Copies of this chain bind each other. A is one copy, B any other.
């Protein structure tokens, strides 16, 4: 069996030799270069665009502006299409006259090369009609705030009011300890290695778009909608991808690129975004102000919980309120109690649109939840691990909406395993009574997540398998490899389902909507989860056809046969009757009945599944320097049966790294005078480097998910959740100071330490 083994990535050789072909690698050398002109105001309208001088630049082919684009609105968020939805998220044109953020796309230059395109951009002159801009939800929601969208009321992107139990009554209970805190969660960017890049050209009347995307089939739909053509007239090809983390779960410049190519007679046009554009003109993770009130009984049970969220959405809907709704779910499920109440508002602001980013609202909500829990336990004198175990979702817990159920106590096991591996108790004791300027502490946080998107939307995946003449199998899926290793996991699963060695699985890494079956792509931690259903189903059909052919060829009844390790064997004694290679060759080339053995089927996935885990962090805080050094970090996950331990570990490491940046360093800032993003580049935006990382440790608890073909659950996004709160809790343990804001930069620490009275003149005040 291949599932469960740390087999080498199927694309390892490609990636380490540089042979792997990414979008830019396969762009024709004669492609025209398109560049976008970005608005220099944060809110207002384009009055006019003067392209006269720009058109004189040698090499410029065409300049198109917001006055030229077709009048179709389209959405960019990568979700399954829902014919019955309201579609108010279809709110942008290819180029926009109503400028909704500093840097909004208002014109595009097509030139022979990038130098000409850049020169032309500099020569364009725009006249604007300016409006006041709002960087914060609280400003944008004001009665007199100028509106970003005519079809919306009061700049509201979405609102959720949710509750269970009788909050008002429960909170009147006597003796409740009330913890009432506001948290500030920053706007960060995905910082995937490969910027967004695409090129487009026409073939027949069809438009082919080659793009670095997580969602080829959804890009196809969005491009068609943006251009007002039938979906079948668009073909999207996805080569190897250098990461996405959700930013490429939006369509980015693919629709514009597709349209531009139609404006130059179908010639190939490329749009390759710069890192600065990736920061300022693609998507960011939702930034929130979050208010949490928790009512705790003296006995350590939670009576009631309340959350109020204000999301600073940015200038377009993108994934908009969907992320906020997910954050609401993250909050409500983790600690069931007698009454719970939530109000959440996503409000349009004149900033980058917030889209999907790894863990989709969970890192924001659970930072607040898991840090408040720690503060509660510290203040009320509870052991925070035991407090969590007592109050959290435990065996038997069932989410009415998703029908997810906690079948085994995986989360408890994660906490126990993590505490032991991390020597948490021992360190906790050792660091209990530190004095001095430099102190250490350990902290932890738990998290949970879902698997795929059912029942929020339809969850479906079609798989296509073709038996080659040599007994190897082509596996073709729309679920996309974007660097996470999905193709390797798919290959392992397919090998086991069909009964061939791993080397005989040829997974097709390039999606091409002209023939790749429909699946929605890489997001929602759904790849391995949803893919397992379609591989199991389609592989089963193929195996069935193989055994039928084997019956015809060998005379042995199908039900006594099996396919094992690339051979047709008798179940009874494992005797090899014929190799799959010989059977396949016979099936195709025999004159009595020629048949190519293939299978294609849609797995209509009605399942979702909880997964859980926890993060432990150990920090050293230099109080006078206001500096945190992360000494050690451990994530423990229960994601069900693990398909590939080495890849699972790598997934976890990547998520932990993101969480470190999220907790300590990253934040996009805006100029309050102009609305311009101030640090949209890698010099000013402080992504953690290798030097900022401790050794990252990952461990697993494998409770089997009963619903899924291999007992697996999801693992893609959860690793990014627990790090920031665990670090914050470790800082609390080290210093006694509770922080309510990330990133926990020296400035934040300084203010908090100062307010806590830790600076007592030139020396640090003693710990209590």
Contacts and interface: CB of A to CB of B under 8 A. Distances in A.
25 contacts: A10-B204, A13-B204, A14-B204, A19-B201, A19-B203, A19-B266, A81-B589, A230-B472, A231-B470, A231-B472, A232-B469, A232-B474, A460-B596, A462-B598, A464-B598, A466-B517, A474-B514, A474-B515, A476-B515, A506-B514, A508-B514, A515-B515, A517-B596, A593-B604, A598-B600
Contacts of A233: 470
How many copies are assembled? 2
Interface in A357-395: none
Contacts of A266: 17, 19
A122 interface: no
Contacts of A604: 593-595
A565 to B, nearest CB: 15
Interface in A428-474: 455, 458-460, 462, 464, 466, 468-472, 474
A518 B598 CA distance: 10
Contacts of A515: 464, 466, 474, 476, 508, 515
A752 interface: no
A203 B204 CA distance: 28
A466 B231 CA distance: 13
A11 B470 contact: no
Give me the 9 closest cross-chain CB pairs, A-B, nearest first. A232-B472, A460-B594, A29-B29, A230-B470, A232-B468, A231-B470, A594-B604, A462-B596, A595-B602
Contacts of A469: 81, 221, 231-232
B589 A458 contact: yes
Nearest to A507: B204
Given A14-B203, A464-B600, A508-B515, 12 more contacts: A11-B204, A17-B266, A19-B266, A81-B589, A82-B589, A221-B469, A232-B469, A233-B470, A458-B588, A458-B590, A462-B596, A506-B514
A78 to B, nearest CB: 14
A79 to B, nearest CB: 11
Interface string A482-526: 000000000000000000000010101000001101100000000
Contacts of A468: 231-232
A752 B10 CA distance: 70
A588 B508 contact: no
Interface string A524-552: 00000000000000000000000000000
B462 A21 contact: no
Interface in A60-110: 80-83
A731 to B, nearest CB: 45
Interface of A: 10-11, 13-14, 17, 19-21, 25-26, 28-29, 80-83, 201-206, 221, 224, 230-233, 265-266, 455, 458-460, 462, 464, 466, 468-472, 474, 476, 504, 506, 508, 514-515, 517-518, 581, 585-586, 588-591, 593-596, 598, 600, 602, 604
Nearest to A473: B232
A639 B471 CA distance: 39
A233 to B, nearest CB: 8
Given A232-B468, A468-B232, A504-B232, A19 B202 contact: yes
Among the interface residues A462, A593, A596, which one has the most CB atoms of the partner chain B within 10 A? A596
Contacts of A265: 17
A515 to B, nearest CB: 5
Contacts of A598: 462, 464, 517, 600
Nearest to A591: B458
Contacts of A83: 585-586, 589
B206 A506 contact: yes
Nearest to A208: B21
A244 B10 CA distance: 37
A307 to B, nearest CB: 29
Given A28-B26, A81-B585, A230-B470, A518 B204 contact: no
Contacts of A201: 19
B203 A21 contact: yes
A82 B591 CA distance: 10
Nearest to A11: B204
Contacts of A588: 458, 460, 518
